[in-house]
Structure 1
Amino acid sequence: VRDAATRVLGPGTEPAGPREVPFAAQSRKALELTLREGLRLGHEHLGTEHLLLGVLGLEDGPLTRALADLGVTKEAAEREIAAAPHADPAPHSDPAS
């Protein structure tokens, strides 16, 4: 997946330090969809699984097409996420208790 993403998006760069990241319109849309997926699923925290669903929700994105070429679909990802046990600990829980 990393190789496919790098082929369509480029290698990226390391940030020089804290600054505002100028997201492209499609990136902003993917982040908006990420939030919507988390809310739709009723999850308290957003994770990489929600980001994956957000990216897959972009109907015509280069990364969406690259993932589709690898056989990754939104429907299959949703099934895997629904089948996965929730490993998120309760907020402010003490692991020792």
Structure 2
Amino acid sequence: MFERFTEDARQVVKGAQEEARGLRHTHIGTEHLLLGLLRRPQMLSAQVLNDHGLDHGHAITTITRLLGTSTGDLDADALETIGIDLSAVREKVEAAFGPGALDRPPGRDRRRALLGGRHIPFTSRAKKVLELSLREALAMKHKDIRDGHILLGLLREGEGLGVRIMTHSGVDPASLRAALRTRLG
């Protein structure tokens, strides 16, 4: 299925993984796909969502409020009492080794070279959204899956946190779907 994804659609999936890592979540859910869709303002899905009143900043604030982040606040407070600023340490390590570097267990490849990054699994709802994006593309007689199709899949799934964030933000799913279908052609 991923061979049908356009570069923008692939960037949505990669962006969802980066968003999950940045929030220190242990899964990639529909909320992370939504953030991936909103991440690049030049993409069709981000433009349509912005036109309907939802932007990346608002979405991430809502997700953080609902799910939180796994930052280890108690550990940070304990370290701060002895003069260690964990956020400054994390910032420097991530600047050198990439987002989530402290959260990844070290691994080795076949040649015993160190590997970075741990796999973050997709939830069943997020997988369903990606499957539905294919169905949306086929229904529109498109040969490839674009970022807009992923958003249509998110709307079609209809029950995940991604859709709840949209509706909580005042986005009407029916009008968003109509606008997307028009823009996708």
TM-score (norm 2): 0.38
Q: Distance in 2 between matches of 1:31 and 1:72?
A: 21
Matching of residues 78-93 of structure 1 within 5 Å: 78-84=177-183, 86=185
Paired residue for 2:47?
none
Counterpart in 1 of 2:52?
none
Q: Supply the distance in 2 between the matched residues of 1:77 and 1:42 (Cα, whole angstroms).
A: 20
Q: Which residue of 2 aligns with 1:49?
A: 148
Which moved further from structure 2: 75-84 or 63-72? 75-84
Counterpart of 2:176 (choices 69, 77, 86) is: 77
Partner of 1:22: 121
Which structure has the larger Rg? 2
How many residue pairs match? The answer is 85
Query: How many percent identity over aligned positions?
Result: 31
- Aligned-pair CA distance for 1:78: 2.8
* Unpaired runs of at least 5, structure 2: 1-54, 70-97, 102-115
Please identify runs of 4+ aligned residues in structure 1 that moved more than 3 A: 13-21
The answer to which structure has the higher helix fraction is 2
1:64 alignment partner, one of 144, 163, 168: 163
The two structures have a TM-score, normalised by structure 1, of 0.65
Considering only aligned residues, what root-mean-square deviation do their CA atoms show, in Å? Answer: 2.9
- CA drift of 1:5 comes to 3.2
Q: CA deviation at 1:45?
A: 1.5
The residue that corresponds to 2:81 in the other structure is none
